[in-house]
Amino acid sequence: MRFGVLGPLEVRTEDGRPVPVPDRKVRALLADLLAHAGRAVSADRLIDDLWGDALPADPPATLRARVSQLRRTLEDAEPGARALVETSPPGYRLAVRTDALDFAVLAGRAADEPDPAARAARFAEALALWRGPAFADFADAPFAAPEIARLDELRLAALEGRAEA
């Protein structure tokens, strides 16, 4: 599966078919896990990020239900994909490659390119991965703010690198 955060949240199968994640809380859960770039996120943190002060009656059970929905959505789209959402004490983790990681790799290679024309082309290739503001549909979510800031800095550096080349 491929996950996009350089713009609105996007999920696609390996062959490029879009994977709809219709439930807003399940989309927020997915975005939260993606914002933590493969690191485990505690259940308490996820509950706080998803519901804040408007907690459901049984927050841990509700979170488990949302995780189950996310796993089912991924599995329905691509057999075996439910395993991407790992239970990792004290919570969950999603160890996947995103367009943000691809961007960082491409921008890093571009910065190391000695030839100015090739450097500009590589920066352009990296910048082409952006479909809009990072985590566009979760721009106001506190859990996304640090990753949005980090990605915006990387994007600005890539734009400057391309201009200098």
Say how far residue 133 (Cα) sits from the centre of its chain.
12
Cα separation, 159 vs 163, in Å, equals: 6
User: Where in the chain does DSSP place strands (E)?
Assistant: 2-4, 10-12, 41-42, 85-88, 91-94
pLDDT in tens, 82-136: 999 999 889 999 989 899 999 999 999 999 999 999 999 999 999 999 999 999 9
Between the alpha carbon of residue 16 and those of residues 46, 80, 109, 112, 133, the distances in Å are 29, 16, 25, 30, 21
DSSP string for residues in 49-60: HHHTTS--SSHH
State the chain's mean pLDDT as an integer.
96
Q: Compute the CA torsion angle 37, 40, 45, 50 (nearest 10 deg).
A: 60
Give residue 54's pLDDT: 92
The model's pTM is 0.93
Give residue 37's pLDDT: 83
3-state helix, strand, coil in the chain (%, to 5): 60, 10, 30
Cα separation, 112 vs 108, in Å, equals: 6
- Label residue 159 by pLDDT band (50, 70, 90): very high
Tell me if the bond preceding 8 is cis, omega within 30° of 0: no
User: Where in 9-116 does DSSP place strands (E)?
Assistant: 10-12, 41-42, 85-88, 91-94
